Structures are given as C-alpha cells and as structure tokens.
Amino acid sequence: MKSFDIPTEKSSESDSFKLKNSVSTIRSKPNSSVIFNEGTTDCYCKSESSGKNYNFCYVDPQNSSSIGKKFDCVYVNTLERLKVLNYPEPFSFVSELIEIEEDVVFVSTTSDDHYYHSSKSYESVRNYYPTHKYILYGLHLSPGYVAQLPNDTNFEFRQFNTSEYPEYVNHWMEYRFKPLIMAEVLKEFPNVWWIDAHIKMKQPNVIERFFEEIATNRSTEDFSSITSFLNTGHSNFATLFPDLLEYFPSNSLPLLKKSAQVAAGIIHIPRTEKTLQIFKWYVLCALDEKCMNPPGAQVFCKFGPNQWDYFAKCFRFDHRGEDNAVSSVLTSTLFDRKQGKLDCNCKSKQSGKSHDFCYVDPQNSTSIGKKFECASLSILEGLELVENNGPFVDVSTLLHYNPEVVFVSAASDNHITQAIESISSFYKHNPDGKYILYSLGLGKYQIKKIKRNFKNLEVRIFNTTGYPGYVKHWMEYRFKVLILAEVMKEFSNIWWLDANIRVEKGNMTQLLFQEIGELVERKGAKDVSDFFSILWWVLCALDETCMAPPGAQVNCHFSEDRNNVFAHCFRFDQSVLNLLLLNYYQDHNNYLSKLGFLFSRT
C-alpha cells in the first residue's frame, strides 16, 4: 500500500542543475559568512543563565570542514529550557528503552480543522493500546472541541503554549510546532511515539514488533535512534531547497538523490544522547524564520521524469530538518495515512500561508473532492474563515448563560411584502430582539418604508462588489451563505429566517437553548452537533458550478418514492448544506430541531 498519491508533473533538468550548483557553491565559497573554520568563536553562543558556550553552527558529520550558517544566539535560553543543550542526566541506550512496552507514550496534535481525523487516529491507537499514556496537544483548539475530548484516565490534553516562541511558530502550515512539541515531551518521557492526526494504526502488536526489529536488526551504532515508519517515495534531493544547505551542508549530492525522504508523520523518538544531538538542530531550524520555511517554499511538487534525480520545486518543512538522521525501517502495512493530493494547497498572497482547498469526506479520508479555485482564498481571508483562532461558542453552555441571538434575513423587490410580514411576526413575539435585514437591490423608498415600520430594525445593503458577478443571481441563493459569513464576523449566535418565514410563538431562543441543553445532558457534549465549518459552504457559493450545477432547477418531479428516486431538481444552498452536514453527522436528527412548530410560511 502506498503512503501517498504523488503527482508526476514534469520538472526541467535545468532546475536540477541549479540545485546542484547551489550545493557546490555553499560548500566551496571561501569568503562566505556561511562558512567558518571549525572551532572559531564566531560559531559560539554564550548562555546568560548558565554561562556555558554552545556551538550554533552545524557541522556535517561526514566532513568536519563543511560548516553551516550560524543560528541566532537569541535561542540559547529556549534550547536550555527544552534541555537539548544541557543534558541533565546520563542517558539510556535504545536497547534499554525497548525493554518495557508500557513506557511508550503516544503524542499527537490537532487544530479545529483536523479534529475529526485526530479523534479517529486516537481511536485506532486505543483499539490496540487501551491503557498507554496518550498526550494530545491542541493548536489553539477551541472550547467546543475541548469539551468533546475523550474521558480517559490515560489521556492528557495540553494546549500548545506558543508564548515563549517566535510569532511565526503559530503558522501551523509551516509545521514548526512539531519539533518543539516533541522536544517538550522528551523532557518528561524517554520513550515517545509521535503520530500525526491523519495516521491510523491498523494492526496489533505494533510496539512489540518494532522493538523486536530493533533488538534483532537495528542494535548497532549504524542505525539512527530516531525511526520513521513511512517512506514518501521520493528522494531528499527532490524536495531540497538550496537555502536549507546554508544551515545544514551535505557532503554528498549523489547520496541525497539516492536516499529516500522518510515522513515525519509517525516516528519513534527515544531520549538518547544521539537523539538530543539531532534535536538541537531540528529545534533550531524550527525557531529560525527561514530555515524551516525557505523563501518560495511550497508543499506542491512538480516531479521530473523520476522522483529521485530532479528538483521538484517543493519543500516538506518539518520532514527536511531531520532527514539526514532518520531512516525508515517498517513498511506502511502497520499504519494507514490519508491519501494526500499534493495539488490541493492554495497559498495566500497576504500571509504567505498555504490552505487546503480540497474537501475531504469526514467519514473517508481517502475520498477527496475537486480543488476549489485559489482566487477565492482572499475572500475567505476577508470573511475571517481561515486562520481564525476564535473565541468560538461552546453550545453546551448556551442554556446556562442565554446569550443574545441576532436574527438575520434578506429580501429583494419581489419578496418585499413577504419580508414585511415576516418581520412583523418576529417583533410581535420578540419586541426587543435584534434583527438585521439585508437588501438585495431594494430601492431607497422601499428601504425607508421598512425602517419607518420597524424602529429596531437594521437594514444593510448587501455589497456584491467583492464577489463574482454571478452572486447577483439571487435565485441561486449564494447570497445567503455569504451574508451569514459576513454576519459571523460580528456576532457569535445567529438565527437566519428566510423572507417567507413567519414566527408563530415567542420564547424562541429559550426553547432552542433548552433543547440543546437536554441533548447535552442526555447524549453528552461529544455527540451533540455543535460545529459546522461554513468554509466549504462559502467556497461552493463562490464557485460558479458548485452551487448551481449545469441544468439545476428548483422545481422537483417527485415519484411516489420521495427518498430513493432522483426528482430532477436542486435546492442550491439547501442541497449543499445538507450534503455537508450529513457527511459530518451521519443522521439528519443530529442537526434538525424539533421546534418547527414555532414557524410557518407566508
């Protein structure tokens, strides 16, 4: 089984030649600031707290005259805190650390957008190792997800604290968090098994089989203490940006072409002296702004005639920092990884960060959708739908503090009468409620009339200038999704009402919060539908054919069987929303309220 699906787009031989020249240049410049004579004081940094001097220039282990660019001395305190410089104890050998399987600690991370995959990864480990310690680090994980974490005495959740690191460590797509978290955990535990959120364990006795492999075949000094379990299928050279060689010079270009780059997604990390010697440089690279993210770096590769001898114009961030030290030993038969479509990323011109624009079925991580246009990324940024760290609403607490709910609707000329009836019914039962009506091309006299009738009503003009021209095709209902996204920037609790919906009873919000509270009490917060990412709904609205497929019409031709026979119709925003919700929650009762009796249609 392959670990990844790798695109095979062509790369020119001139790119390979440029990289080769870059390697030669880095190794041969006699006057470059990159090169130092071994042992010169230029390479050393002195600790203010301990008074010790540390070498901050990497030396190629195979060629002591090949010395890299000096890392910034400002990081000395961080490395001392992580204990990758000042080793506090005599170390065990790997052969000693593999004697007790129960000492292995599983460690992983997740952010909001990876929570589903992370929970499945955790469950797969628990299938075979129900009592091993498992530590999950949150990358600004929001309270709603924290509330859903496992109730497991051997499970520990930690929010990753980035306050003591450079600001760009918060750029998750650069993966700096990974070596830093690994180093933090190694301070406490000598036997760490890192597993990415997308990795699933799929066979029993993994630890036993791996430890047996070490004892039988990997006990000599020739083998790395750090071990990866997945092979990427391409060489180190293919994804090697020349800038990285300024920090970590390599003595052998042919070796870089011949050696496979192994994945950093699942690795065994024992706390040995060799491991910490590697981690010193791995951590320094993560802390340096350009080492782990060279200018122009991107994850999307353009491979040449083969994936070994040609530079593919891409970079794998955290993979690169340790690949000279890590070797792959077991095949991918022990683990399963989401099949990566490497062309799914879109890079922001504003922040330089990359974002995944291919939807992944939450129930099947190998089922990946068509990539949305990268042109929509700037709109998502304007709507604060990417890199949004909250705070977010925890629905399980709504019953206790009853926050304000903002009601939102929209109306065009042909729905103005219905809209007035709808608003009247709302204020009849909610005289002090906040209501925002978006105008879809209403005339100024119509707007004046509405404002005159409803003193507490706020009317806003829906500005379409920042969106594609077809957003003005009101009958495709793209406006609804975009308006909701705009309002979400200001308000945390929103209740949308179509212009033809009448409110028949009062206490709407109290009844809804009560219903949610009863669900939480009965099923537990983990099973209550408390999150839906509007991002994919918005991307579909921005795409010309996603929310309005060719031939789509709203009028249905139902047969006697309204469930199993296609009715030759499409409900635009409604159809998309239902597909996304059903994919995530698997049962419409998990997102359908029983409070429909509160409303009627005009």
463, 546: one domain: yes
Res. 352 pLDDT band, cuts 50 70 90: confident
CATH number at residue 244: 3.90.550
Question: Of 337, 368, 384, which residue constitutes the final position of a domain?
Answer: 337
Mean pLDDT taken over the chain: 80
Is 384 part of any domain? no
pLDDT for 528 beyond 50: no
For 450, the token pair is 């509405």
Most confident residue range from 95-99, 127-131, 385-389, 415-419:
127-131
Question: Of 296, 318, 337, which residue constitutes the final position of a domain?
Answer: 337
> Residue 320 has what pLDDT?
39
**What average pLDDT does range 73-96 have in this prediction?**
86
**SS3 call for 168:** helix
What is the Cα–Cα distance from 487 to 13, expressed in whole angstroms? 51
More confident residue, 348 or 153: 153
Most confident residue range from 156-165, 230-239, 519-528:
156-165
pLDDT for 350 beyond 50: yes
pLDDT for 41 beyond 50: no
> Residue 362 has what pLDDT?
79
Is 561 part of any domain? yes
333, 399: one domain: no
More confident residue, 154 or 355: 154
Q: Residue 176: which domain range?
A: 44-337
309, 402: one domain: no
Asked if 479 contacts 368 with a C-beta cutoff of 8 angstroms, the reply is no
The number of distinct structural domains making up the chain is 2
Is 350 part of any domain? no
Interhelix angle 534-542/573-585, nearest 10 degrees: 150
Instruction: For residue 271, give every residue at least 6 positions away whose Cβ sits within 8 Å of its Cβ, in sequence order, or none.
Output: 91, 92, 97, 186, 189, 190, 191, 192
**What average pLDDT does range 533-540 have in this prediction?**
90
332, 251: one domain: yes
> Residue 435 has what pLDDT?
95
Instruction: Name the β-bridge partners of 207.
Output: none
**Among residues 529, 511, 510, 508, which one has the least CA distance to residue 520?**
529
Torsion, Cα 190 195 200 206, to 10 degrees, reads -30
Asked if 196 contacts 230 with a C-beta cutoff of 8 angstroms, the reply is no
What is the Cα–Cα distance from 42 to 36, expressed in whole angstroms? 7
**Among residues 283, 189, 175, 264, which one has the least CA distance to residue 224?**
264
Instruction: Name the β-bridge partners of 46.
Output: 53
157, 306: one domain: yes
Res. 3 pLDDT band, cuts 50 70 90: very low
> Residue 265 has what pLDDT?
82
Question: Of 302, 337, 372, which residue constitutes the final position of a domain?
Answer: 337
pLDDT digits (tens, 9 = 90+) for 409-418: 999 988 899 9
> Residue 328 has what pLDDT?
27
Res. 521 pLDDT band, cuts 50 70 90: low
Comparing 142-151, 275-284, 401-410, the range with the smallest average pLDDT is 401-410
Is 381 part of any domain? no
The residue type at 195: I
pLDDT for 556 beyond 90: no
> Residue 543 has what pLDDT?
94
Instruction: For residue 225, give every residue at least 6 positions away whose Cβ sits within 8 Å of its Cβ, in sequence order, or none.
Output: 94, 270, 272, 274, 275, 278
> Residue 369 has what pLDDT?
86
331, 452: one domain: no
568, 446: one domain: yes
Comparing 262-266, 442-446, 447-451, the range with the smallest average pLDDT is 262-266
**What average pLDDT does range 138-147 have in this prediction?**
92
The residue type at 341: K
**SS3 call for 400:** helix
pLDDT for 522 beyond 80: no
Write down the number of H helices and E strands in the chain: 19, 21
What is the Cα–Cα distance from 319 to 326, expressed in whole angstroms? 10
> Residue 305 has what pLDDT?
73
CB atoms within 10 A of CB 222: 7
**What average pLDDT does range 234-263 have in this prediction?**
75
Res. 587 pLDDT band, cuts 50 70 90: confident
> Residue 16 has what pLDDT?
41
Is 11 part of any domain? no
**Among residues 562, 463, 488, 11, which one has the least CA distance to residue 240?**
11
> Residue 35 has what pLDDT?
36
> Residue 34 has what pLDDT?
35
Res. 31 pLDDT band, cuts 50 70 90: very low
Res. 363 pLDDT band, cuts 50 70 90: confident
> Residue 310 has what pLDDT?
65
pLDDT for 266 beyond 60: yes
> Residue 387 has what pLDDT?
73
Helix (H) or strand (E) holding 156: strand 155-159
What is the Cα–Cα distance from 291 to 245, expressed in whole angstroms? 9
**Pairing, β 494-496 against β 406-411:** parallel
> Residue 343 has what pLDDT?
65
The residue type at 119: S
For 560, the token pair is 């006697």
Res. 29 pLDDT band, cuts 50 70 90: very low
Is 131 part of any domain? yes
pLDDT for 496 beyond 90: yes
Res. 438 pLDDT band, cuts 50 70 90: very high
Most confident residue range from 146-160, 220-234, 555-569:
146-160
**What average pLDDT does range 363-382 have in this prediction?**
86
Give yes or no for a cis peptide into 391 (omega within 30° of 0).
yes
Res. 558 pLDDT band, cuts 50 70 90: confident
Instruction: Name the β-bridge partners of 336.
Output: 200
320, 415: one domain: no
224, 114: one domain: yes
263, 407: one domain: no
- DSSP secondary-structure letter at 160? -
pLDDT for 26 beyond 70: no
> Residue 258 has what pLDDT?
76
Res. 137 pLDDT band, cuts 50 70 90: very high
276, 409: one domain: no
pLDDT for 8 beyond 60: no
Is 419 part of any domain? yes
What is the Cα–Cα distance from 379 to 538, expressed in whole angstroms? 9
Is 14 part of any domain? no
279, 405: one domain: no
